[in-house]
Amino acid sequence: MEHPLTKCTRMFFLLGMVMIELQSYGSLGCLEDERAGLMKLKDAFGGPTGSSDLSSWGGGEERDCCKWEGVVCDDATKRVSRLSLSGARDFGNFWSLDASLFLPFQELQNLSLIDDALIELTNLTNLETLHLGDNGLMEIPSSIWDLTSLKALSLRGNGLNGLLPLRGLCKLVNLQELDLSDNGFEGNLPSCLMNLTSLRLLELSKNKFDGAIPSNLFPVLKSLEYLSFHITSLKEHFLLVFELVCDNNGLKVDTENLPWTLLFQLKVFRLSNCKLNEKNRVLPSFLLNQFELRGIDLSHNSISGMIPMWLVANNTRLEFLKLANNSLTDPLTLDLNSTHLDMFWFDISSNHIQGELPSPISSAFPNLMTSNLSSNLFQGSIPPSLGELRVLDTLDLSNNNFSGQLPEQLVTGCASLMYLKLSNNCLQGQPLPSKSNVTNLDTLCLDINSFSGEIPRGILNSSRAKGPLPNFTSLVSDSPLVTFDVRDNKLQGKIPGWINSFSNLRVLLLRGNSFEGPIPLQLCDLRKISIIDLSRNELSGPIPSCLHDIYALEEPFRTQMFVAVSAEFVPSDSYSYENQLGVDYSRALSISETYFKEEVEFITKSRSETYKGNIWQFMSGIDLSWNKLTGPIPHEIGYLSDIHALNLSHNHLTGQIPESFSNLGQIESLDLSHNSLSGQIPPKLVELNYLSVFTVAYNNLSGRTPDRKAQFATFDEHSYEGNSLLCGVPLERRCTTNEEMSPPPHPSHAVQDDTFKVAFLSTFWPTYAVAFVGIIVILYYCPYHEYLISM
C-alpha cells in the first residue's frame, strides 16, 4: 500500500506544475490585438499584387508573435517594441502602405522600412518627377541617382544630414527643379551644381551649409527663376539671392565686388538679417539697375544713410517696401509729382529717422494699407492728410516725439482702420475727437501720452483720461473689438451693463481706475472672453456666480488672436512659379512676422506678464483683487476647469474655500490672501498638479495645512501666514493630531503599464483559484490524522 505522505507529495507536485503552466500561459505570446495587427501587415505586404517575405508569420504551430521573424517584444509587457520590415515586399506593381496599420503597436520604438518601396527605382528609367518629401528617410536611396530622366526631385523634410552625395546628384543633368530644404545638409555647396544648367528652381533653405557659394554659379544657371536660402551658418561669401533670410547674426553678406554682372530683372528681392555690406553699410549697388521690382525687404541689416526713396522712384510698380531695423537717418522726403498706386505696405520702423512726417504721404501712396513708422525720431504734429488714406487699416506711429492733438481727419476719414497705435508720444487733448468713425477698430493704443478730458464716444482704449465711461452702444453692435484696455486711468462710475454688446471681446482690462458698484451680471454674457482684470478699483457686492458660464474661461479659444492686416504675401501673380512637384513656391516676401500682434499685460504668478499674438490665446484668468467685494466665493467658480490664474485677494470675502476648487485642473496661480475666509483648506487642492503660486495668507483659516506632496511640497510658510489657527508643515505651529504623512509612492512604482497589469491579473487569479481548490482537495484526501495513524 502506498504511503500516505508519498501520495500527498505527488499531488502537491502535480498541483505546482498546473500553477506554473497556468501562470506562464498568459505570457507565452504577444497580445492578441497586436498579433491581429501583424497579420494585417502581412496581408498588406503580400497582396494583392506583390509577394511577401513575411510568409512565416502565423504559420505552423508558432502562435507567439514575439518569436516571429523581425518582431521583438518588451520582456515585461509583451508588446511589440521593434519591427523590421526591410525588404519585406517584392514590388512588381505600384503599391502604397497605409500608416494606420501601425496604430495597434502602442509601444513600437523602432520601425525599419528601408528599401521597401525604393529598391526597384532603378528600373523606372522614364520617371521625370519624384517627390519623396516628409518621409523620414535616414539616407538617400542610391537608386535615385540612376534616374537620369528626372526633371523634378524633392527630398525636403526628411531629416537628412551630412554632405550632399555629389557624385550622384550631379549626374541628374536634366533636373529643372531641386528641393533639398528642411534637412541637415552640411559643408560647401557643390560646384558641380553648375552642371545642372536647366535648373529653374533651387530650394536649399533650412540646412547647415557653410563656406562659400561658388561665385560663378549664378552666371551659369541662366534658366534659374527661383532661388531660396533660409540659412543659419553660411560664413563670409559673395552672394546675390532671390531670397535670403539669415537667422545667425554672425553671417556677413557682401554684394559688392562680384566677379559677374547681374543681367536679369528681379521681381522680388529679400535680404534680411544678414549684416549686409558690413564694411560700408551700403545698399547693394546692383539695385540701381533694377526697374521691375514688386517687393523689397532689406530689414534687420546695418544699412545707414538716407532713406533710399530712389528704390520707389525706379520701381514704379513697387508694392512692398520694408527697411525696418536699420540705421537710416535724415528726414523722410517724398516726390510731390510722383504717385505710386501699387504701394500697399510701407515699413521704415526702428531706425533713426528725424524731422516731421511729410504731408504728401497720402498723395504719394494713395492705396496704402499698412504703414509702420514706429520707433524713430519723428516730431511735430501728425499730418491731417493721413485721413485721405481711405483703405488704410494699420497705422503704427508709436515711440516717436509726435506732439499736438490727434487730427480729426485721421479718425473720420480712415474708416477702414483696424489697428491704430500712437503709444509713447507727446500727444495731448482729447483721446479721440467726438466725430470719430472707427467702427472697424480692433486695437487702439494711446498709452504714455498727455491726453486729458472725458472719454468721448467711440474710444475703445485710452491713457490718462478722466471722466465716466460713456455710452457708445451705437458703435458696439457686432463690434470686432477683441481687446478692451482702459487700464491705469481715472475712469469712474459703474461698469456699464452694455459691456455685453462687445460679443467678440476676449480681453477686458479695467485695472487701476475708480469704478464702483457691483460687477454687472452682463459680464457673464461675454462668451468669448478669456482674460478679465477688474483689479484696483472700488467694486463692491458679491462675485457673480454666473462667471462659470463663460465658455472661453473653461476652454480658451484656439484661434489666432493677431490683427489681420493687409495681406500675408505680395500678390502672387507678380512672381508665381508653376512647378512639377506640386509644391507652393509662390512665396517670396512672406510678411507673417510683421503682423501687428495683440499685446496684453496681465498679472499672474505675482508678476506682470505680457502675452502677444497667438501666445495669449491659450491664457485665461480672472483678477478681482484690491476691491471691496463681499460674501462667499461662489462654488461655481470651481467649474472653470481650464482657467490658469485666479486672484481674489485684498477683498472682504467670507465663508469657506469651495471644495470645487479641486476641479481647477489647469490652474497655475491661485491667490485668496487678505480676505476673511474661514474653515479648513480643502485637502483635495493637492490634486492641482500645475499650481506654482498659492497663497491663502491673512485670513481666518483653521485646521491642518494640505499634505506636503506634489506641488504643495513647494509652498513655504508665506503661503499660509496670518492664519493663527492653521497648523502643520511648513508652519511652526504643530497640530495636536498626528500629521506625519506617508511619502508619495516612488514614480517607478506609482505608474504601471496598464497592459502589464491586465496580463498579470488575467493569469494571477485563475492560477491561485486553482491552487486554493487544489489544496482543499489534497487536505480532504490526505488528512493529518491518517498520517499519524501510519506512523
- Residues 72, 108 contacting (CB under 8 angstroms): no
The pLDDT score that the predictor gives to residue 470 is 46
Q: How far is CA 421 from CA 361, 397, 400, 563, 763, in A?
A: 18, 6, 11, 12, 70
599 & 660 share domain: yes
Tens digits of residue pLDDT in 620-658: 889 999 999 999 999 999 988 889 899 999 999 999 999
Exposure string for 515-537, b = 16+ CB within 10 A, e = fewer: beeebbebbbbbebbbbbbbbbb
The answer to whether residue 317 sits within a structural domain is no
Rounding to the nearest 10 degrees, give the CA dihedral for residues 706, 712, 718, 723: -10
8 & 140 share domain: no
The pLDDT score that the predictor gives to residue 753 is 43
> Where does a domain end: 227, 242, 277?
227
Tens digits of residue pLDDT in 347-371: 999 999 999 999 888 899 999 999 9
22 & 131 share domain: no
Rg (alpha carbons) of the chain, rounded to whole number: 36
pLDDT greater than 60 at residue 560: no
Rounding to the nearest 10 degrees, give the CA dihedral for residues 306, 311, 317, 318: -60
Q: Which of 241, 236, 273 is nearest to 252 (CA)?
A: 236
Question: How confident is the model over 533-538, as a mean pLDDT?
Answer: 92
pLDDT greater than 90 at residue 677: yes
Instruction: Tell how far CA 126 is from the center of its chain.
Output: 43
- Residues 473, 501 contacting (CB under 8 angstroms): yes
Tens digits of residue pLDDT in 263-296: 667 788 887 777 676 666 778 888 888 898 888 8
> Where does a domain end: 187, 204, 227?
227
Neighbours of 720 (CB within 10 A): 26
The pLDDT score that the predictor gives to residue 651 is 97
Q: CA neighbours within 13 Å on the CB side: how many for 323?
A: 23
The answer to whether residue 407 sits within a structural domain is no
182 & 210 share domain: yes
For cell 514706429, name the residue. Answer: 374
601 & 721 share domain: yes
- Residues 240, 258 contacting (CB under 8 angstroms): yes
Q: State the sign of the Cα–Cα–Cα–Cα dihedral 170, 172, 175, 179.
A: negative
Q: How many domains does the chain fold into? A: 4
59 & 139 share domain: no
The pLDDT score that the predictor gives to residue 566 is 30
149 & 72 share domain: no
600 & 678 share domain: yes
The answer to whether residue 465 sits within a structural domain is no
8 & 132 share domain: no
- The percent of residues above 70 in pLDDT, for the chain, comes to 61
The answer to whether residue 785 sits within a structural domain is yes
The answer to whether residue 129 sits within a structural domain is yes
Contacts with 393 (C-beta within 8 Å, 6 or more apart), sequence order: 369, 370, 416, 417, 418, 419, 440, 565, 566
> Where does a domain end: 227, 242, 267?
227
Question: How confident is the model over 128-150, as a mean pLDDT?
Answer: 75
How far is Cα 140 from Cα 446, in angstroms, rounded to an integer? 56
Instruction: Find which of 239-253, 409-423, 639-653 is predicted with most confidence, using mean pLDDT.
Output: 639-653
80 & 192 share domain: no
The pLDDT score that the predictor gives to residue 565 is 30
Phi, psi of 25 (to 5 degrees): -60, -45
How far is Cα 13 from Cα 782, in angstroms, rounded to an integer? 14
- Left (φ > 0), alpha (ψ -120 to 50) or beta: where does 515 sit? beta
772 & 668 share domain: no
DSSP string covering 565-594 = -S-SSS-GGGT----SS------SS--GGG
Q: Where are the alpha helices (DSSP H) in 171-226?
A: 217-220
The answer to whether residue 175 sits within a structural domain is yes
3-class secondary structure per residue, 506-556: CEEECCCCEEEECCCHHHHHCCCCCEEECCCCEEEECCCHHHHHCHHHHCC
- DSSP element (H, E) containing 491: strand 490-494
How far is Cα 739 from Cα 709, in angstroms, rounded to an integer? 13
Residue 212: give its domain's CATH number: 3.80.10.10
In the DSSP assignment, the letter for residue 123 is: G
In the DSSP assignment, the letter for residue 744 is: P
Q: Which of 297, 314, 385 is nearest to 349 (CA)?
A: 297
Q: What's the domain range around 604?
A: 554-570+593-727
The answer to whether residue 204 sits within a structural domain is yes
719 & 612 share domain: yes
Tens digits of residue pLDDT in 19-28: 545 444 444 5
The answer to whether residue 197 sits within a structural domain is yes
The SS3 call for residue 330 is coil
The pLDDT score that the predictor gives to residue 739 is 40
